[in-house]
Amino acid sequence: MESQTTTSNRLFSHPLRQTVLTIVMLLVIMTVSSWGFLLLENNQVFARFSLAGDLASTEKQISRDIDSLEDFDATNVQLPQFKTRLEEFSVNRNKTFYSDQLFEEVQALFQDVNTALDEQQSKWFNRIDDTISQTKTKFEELKNYGVSLPMKEEELAMVERRFSTAATAEDFRLIDTLSQQLSSFLQDQINVKKMIYLQSHLKEELSSIQSLLDEGKKLGIENKDLSNAVASLNLNQSASSSASLLQLEKYQEVLVDGKIQLKDSIEKKKKEQEEQKNRTNSNYIAIVPQHYPIGGKSIEVSLSEQVLRMYENGEQIHADFVVTGKNGWETTPGVHHILYKQLYKVLSMDKPVYYRIPVKYWMPFTTSGEGIHDLTSRWVFGPRANRSWNGSHGCVNSPIALAALIFQWAEVGTPVVVF
């Protein structure tokens, strides 16, 4: 054992041998280093090939996306720009194989094309979604007319199912066409029902409108727009024509507005005539001395003339025709006084007759229920107006203008002389 160790030490200790060993070790180290550098370079080349492959794949995807964008909207102003950028990228990629700048360019183009494609898809999606919502509303509107269309509702459900899986421009176009056709069909059905309803409704309105036109003509009131609309209205138009429906709806607007205006004009004219009549009656009533001279304010009611006169300090300041109690219900003669004044009173009696009469101005002058009040349902006042059944049940009925004047002028306690 000791002999072997001694031999080994001699072998390595010889100068020549040490030099050889050193050279061998250096050669080994250099060889290993070369292999490492080669492996690293091969990895870099592999990475470049991989990234170049990604660029080619992305280029193909961009090309497909541009084709899809063109399918959605061939007039899109960005298409020429996208195509030019893609062509330039292809040329540069073939020259350079791969660079960081190429990678950034293709990523930017990919993002821009996808943004434009998403916008187009959103436009189609919103358009179809709106049409489907409107179609559902039309189904509900038809149900209000008593119309149910189960086959068409199933058709809408089919459209919604296809819509939920739509991806391509061809899918969206087909679904849009189907939904538009269904919506148009339902609108036609609604138009028919509306037309029938309007024709029926306007036939009923024409009778009352014509009566108003005749009444207005007697009073000297004319509504030319309303008269022309009634004369030109054609209720036998086709129920399936949208244009006819629009025309009929315009007629309805003219007729309704015209009827309201004419009715208001007639009522205003009647009121003016009544006020004029009261003023005229007052002018023709004779001014006479007080039947019972009383100082201050006083009221006298003449049963024979059916006239109410207002006096102040012995002078007649106003007079107008009234209606007093009829046969069997004569107004009580004598000197009375206004007991109180009340706005808006319902006069009533149960026996021997029954009535409920709302009045605006109520001024009782006897405890038995006789008083002065307006009666808007009465048009005739004056001599003989209280004869037979047409008189009151004891009260002094007056035109509303006279009742309002007395209510404002007279005080509680003002004498009322009936003779």
CATH of 291-418 among 2.40.440.10, 1.10.10.10, 3.40.30.10, 2.60.40.10: 2.40.440.10
d(CA 136, CA 99): 55
CATH 2.40.440.10, the chain: domain bounds:
291-418
Long-range CB pairs of 193-196 (<8 Å, 24+ gap) are 193/142, 193/145, 193/147, 194/245, 194/249, 195/237, 195/239, 195/240, 195/241, 195/244, 195/245, 195/248, 196/239
Q: Cβ–Cβ contacts within 10 Å for residue 200, how many?
A: 11
Q: Is the pTM of this model over 0.85?
A: no
Residues contacting 80, CB < 8 A, separation 6+: none
- 54-100 tens-digit pLDDT: 777 888 888 888 888 888 888 888 989 989 888 888 888 777 756 77
pLDDT, residue 364, reads 97
Residues of the chain with pLDDT under 50: 1-8, 11-12, 35-51
d(CA 151, CA 27): 90
pLDDT, residue 53, reads 57
d(CA 23, CA 21): 5
d(CA 210, CA 276): 27
pLDDT, residue 43, reads 39
Q: Which residues of 166-182 are buried (b: 16+ CB within 10 A; e: fewer)?
A: beebeebeebbebbeeb
SS3 call for 372: strand
**Chain centroid, CA 24 distance in Å:** 99
pLDDT, residue 279, reads 54
d(CA 107, CA 180): 38
d(CA 73, CA 61): 18
Residue whose pair of structure tokens reads 């209720």 in the numeric block: 235
Residue 361 has phi, psi (to 5 degrees) of -120, 120
